[in-house]
Amino acid sequence: MLLIMKPVKVSFEDSIAKAVVEAGKCVGCGTCILVCPFNCLEYADEKPNLIKECKVCGICAQACPQYEFPLSTIENHVFGRERKAEEAFGVYRKLVLARAIDSQILQVCQDGGAVTALLLYALKNGFIDGAIVAKSEREKPFYPRPTLATTAEEILQSAGTKYFYSPNILAIAKVIEQKKGNVAFVGT
């Protein structure tokens, strides 16, 4: 089954700016910025901002998870069904609790370090070339930034809960620039 999104030829101003940003629905993910083939958008003040004339291609509107996003269609395509009312986290096979056992990870993690442990294992064993993560600086702990971590040290530096969102999808540009093949994406 092929999932086909209907093509939308609409400007940023008439779609995302009004229905998402001005309506207070923007989650700051940065997807619209990443997919704009004309580089008309930039990320500032935790939201997309138009920096030059929109070419009305509609790609940003198709990619935005808050603009007419066909969640039920996607769930049916991926999982064969829509989520039930009691499935607050969406459709899943199993929920698990996990905790790292590596003392180096436990020293820097916030809760259990499971994500950090999985990333380090995948990097060490050649499953990934890097990971897109959110990294905070000591001076500005509440302002995480998207980062492409390609070493164990960089992954460890990104460990821990971030209390503010980070538009990690914007780091995909670094993946393309550095020609990385297999990259993990942490979007928690």
Angle at Cα 143 formed by Cα 106 and Cα 151, nearest 5°?
45
Q: What is the pLDDT along the chain (188 residues), one digit of tens a residue?
A: 455 556 668 899 999 999 999 999 999 999 999 999 999 999 998 899 999 999 999 999 988 989 987 788 889 998 999 999 998 888 888 888 999 999 999 999 988 999 999 999 999 999 999 999 999 888 888 889 999 999 999 999 999 888 888 888 889 988 988 898 999 999 86
Q: Give the predicted TM-score (pTM) of the model.
A: 0.73
DSSP 3-state of 12: coil
Strands in 140-149's sheet, in edge-to-edge order, are: 140-149, 130-137, 183-185
Q: Maximum distance among all alpha carbons in the chain? A: 53
- Give all domains of the chain, ordered by start, each with its CATH number: 13-79 (3.30.70.20), 103-185 (no CATH)
Residue 161, token pair as written in the block: 């809960």
